[in-house]
Amino acid sequence: MSEYIEHDRDKISVGIVEKKLFTFAEPPDEMVLESGARVGPLTLAYETCGTLNEDKSNVILILHALSGDSHVAGYYTPDDEKPGWWDNMVGPGKGIDTDKYFIVCSNIIGSCMGSTGPCTINPKTVLPYGLDFPVVTIGDMVEAQKALMVHLGVKKLLAVVGGSIGGMQVLEWCIRYPEMVVSAIPLASTTKHSALAIAFNEVARQAIMADPNWNDGEYYFGPKPDMGLAVARMIGHITYLSDESMRLKFGRRLQDKSDFSFNFDADFQVESYLRYQGKKFVERFDANSFLYITKAGDYYDLEKQHGDGSEVKAFSKMAAAFLVVSFTSDWLYPTYQSRAMVKAMKKNGLDVSFCEIEAEWGHDAFLLPNARLTAVIRGFLERVFNQSPK
């Protein structure tokens, strides 16, 4: 078990964690993707925390959103200033309690955070894949995660948890492997992208591809499409917020000045903030990976792919107990989409709990500390753990 460390008097962490790598699908046994393409070898980055119990009945798989990674909680070194992306939820005594549960967080194929994706070296050419990397789907991501579970000797998942695109992976886990998943928590998610969500993703992709440095994805040995990726991130970041959150955080306040500059500098605080977010993003993420992952999200359509166009029929193939959570200010994946999901679950007699949480911070609310969200997740996990056969 990880050694706990305390960075301040109010915050206990799981401690030092280690990024691990799992490689599979070695030729000639490459992974066959939904597109029909074959790819291998494949590597998944993953991290674990907590202690696996004797009968392996306490495993929780956490799945990240678009630009996330396997670093869900804890620190890589004692000097780290920033913990994992969901450290407020995952840890000893927290909503997902590492004193009780064994946590696995897996990165996704197509990413640039340790797993195989377009920036990975193609063994056939000894050059980065670029656009030679095949387009992957949410289903392909789940198939790779299933291989990781086999590698870890995990036959049953107490819960699969994820928000946004991670929530899509949660649903796909439940429909592909119903015998493995005891419970599921899709947060701020949907069974398919709306036209609005697809439109924002497409504008972001076009921003990248319009950057002359993108060079049809062949930029790994030259200047990178940093401006295009920064603009793509700025576009995406707007969709993660809400009108209320932006009003409260920025309003029309000016950035370090008392009047307009009468040029095209960042006069407003919100302009400066978005430019900062874009600049920080290009330091850690790959433009091609952004293209691939957003496309995977846009392609996902649970009812079309698994229910012949019927959401009810798609959910009839699932067996997990569900906790579905939406947020009032999330206009990217609004509550009506979660309610439709819940309605289809109930029509199939599934054990489903639904919670719409009052939150002003938009789609990103599931990542932020929230006492109600913590309590709801903690209570749900305790119930399914106590009810599940040991």
Q: Which residues are known catalytic residues?
A: 164, 330, 363
| Residues 230, 275: Cα–Cα separation, whole Å | 8
Question: Could you tell me if 111 and 42 are in contact, meaning their C-beta atoms sit under 8 angstroms apart?
Answer: no
Could you tell me which of 25, 193, 21, 176 has the C-alpha nearest to residue 107? 21
Of 148, 144, 172, 147, residue with least CA distance to 160 = 172
Contact (Cβ atoms closer than 8 angstroms) between residue 328 and residue 357: yes
Strand 90-91 and strand 127-128: the pairing is: unpaired
CB 352 within 8 A of CB 339: no
Pairs from 96-99 (Cβ < 8 Å, separation ≥ 24): 96/60, 96/62, 96/161, 96/377, 96/378, 96/381, 97/378, 97/381, 98/1, 98/2, 98/14, 98/49, 98/50, 98/51, 98/73, 99/50
Cβ-contact 16, 114 below 8 angstroms: no
Name the residue among 204, 190, 174, 161 with its Cα closest to residue 68.
161
The Cα–Cα gap between 176 and 305 comes to 11
The type of residue at 177 is: Y
Which tokens in the block code for residue 41? 């070898």
Both tokens of residue 211? 């950057």
Whether residue 73 contacts residue 87, with contact meaning beta carbons closer than 8 Å, is answered with yes
